[in-house]
Structure 1
Amino acid sequence: MKSIKKITIALFAILPLVLSSLTANLQVKAEEEYTIGLAISTTNNPFFVDLQEGVEEAAKEMGATVKIVDAQDDATTQLNGLDDLITQGVDILLINPVDSDAIVPAIKNANEAKIPVITIDRNAAEGEVVSLVASNNLDGGKMAAEFIIEKIGKGAKVIQLEGVLGASATNERGEGFEEGAKDQLELIASQSANFNRSEGLTVMENLLQAHPDVQAVFAQNDEMALGAIEAIKAAGLEEEILVIGFDGNDDGLEAVKEGELAATIAQQPKEMGHLAVEAAINHLKGEKVEESIASPLELVIKDTLEEK
């Protein structure tokens, strides 16, 4: 009997510790219970690599897990990847659309499955979206036009390299630039190079043949700007043509520092990823999330970098 009493006393003694341990484990699980599905447009672009890293970093900090599908800039591949994430039953989707129109069926599928959606950098044309986390692309486009006017003057002949046709970032940056350029700059050509460096090179080579008198180039991202610079250098026109990009990725900032790229409208993709995850977790917890969350922009020139 004494031994039974001792065992009973011992069990009661350790019971609080066991309960405490179980409670702690439940708390950990509660913090890690959210699974975020991330559909990224491409990991071939440094900007979106940084965006993905921002999402992963924030999710780790907040105790969530992330499942990622990479569309490689193909809208059909993105739809298939999102179908997989929906089937897996993720708690929320973060979508960086390849194409704002083509993504609509996936958004509607998620809506039917009661999986909330947050879009990043680019919006969806239709469907129910909790929030869009993005830079103000309209303002960024205007900033680019204003910079060219300031550096070259009114009436300057300008070429625009557009991003992926149909993407909201392409539409908005173009709209902002053209609004800023109206009656101030002469837009002599505007052509898509799909946010891609090698296409930026090829498209710029062809445009230089048709428009050798161009004075400035606005590329809707740094990758296209860097490709355009290679074409301009090959033509021996680097002293004649000013190039401005958009994004502020590492290569773009280095080109600004070296004086090859006149300026870039710098986004903060990692911060964008952090903001998207924060919005996702807040929504899942039942907190109010703004329909539009702005990520900051900055015009970066060589002097800016030298001051830092």
Structure 2
Amino acid sequence: MKKVVCILSLALTLGACGSKNEKKGDAQALNGTIKIDGSSTVFPVSEAVAEEFRNVQPDVKVTIGVSGTGGGFQKFSRGETNISNASRPIKDKEIAICKENNINYLELEVAYDGLAVLVNPENTWVDSFTIEELKKIWEPAAQGTIMKWNQIRPEWPDEEIHLYGPGVASGTYDYFTEAVVGKSGSSRGDFTASEDDHVLVQGISGDKYSLGFFGLAYYSENKDKLSLIGVHNGTEVVKPSIETVKNGTYSPLSRPLFVYVNSTSVKSPEVVEFVNFYLETAGELATDVGYIPLPEEKYTQQKESFKSFVADNQ
């Protein structure tokens, strides 16, 4: 009888251990580390996904760095990360470095974002900008020349413009300069730059004569500290919002956001599981953190692309 009791006890113990080590949905429990780095703009989406992923795979460690899109691609091209957050497509020179290091990858769109143009709440004179006015302020030739607000419109104050923006390694900087100045990475250099959008929020919110830009999501988190300025799209003045980014009227300052996945990494089941989870939850979580989800059919396309990518690299 004691023997039967012992066997039953052992079976119950093993059964309990087995259920404890399985994630929701009775799928295989995984472990390991997933390394992500790159865009500060994409960070809130990836961090939200990682938080939810930890609930279903608690033994998988997901680390997310913020070194800007360019900095993230540097690490990615050296094989130091599994996934790279990017607020712009990978550049030709970055593709070349990946090839040199035998790094193959897949680009996946995960959400849409609008770039926010912002001033201090005490700024009572600016109601909108044209792209031409923004170019006049930010182009390289403006440095040392366009220094005051009344040089943009005569009725604006005879006070210095204090500029704030993402650093030159940022995909947001690249996108803004391409959309506004006409050439990616081309701008005046005399502005306060930071890869940390919270630093830019602090700068603009503490300076009456400030003007800056960064991703819309960070404005959404700091509405009480900043004033959002509309941009003339050629037909009308439009402010960025979920609706105007999604319907394309907030032009040309709307863009897709990306993650890039290293082909070597998909040999690790935890990476495959994480990316599938990302594509499954990105739409809902992007909305939660202030971004705009892709159409559902777009996520379906991304899932199919990733499935084929995994099959080709196993």
Structure ranking higher in helix proportion: 1
Fold shared by both chains (TM-score > 0.5): no
Range into which the TM-score falls when normalised by the shorter chain: 0.3 to 0.5
The structure, 1 or 2, with the larger RCO (C-alpha pairs under 8 Å, 6+ apart) is 2
Bigger Cα Rg: 1
Q: TM-score, normalised by structure 1?
A: 0.44
Q: TM-score, normalised by structure 2?
A: 0.43
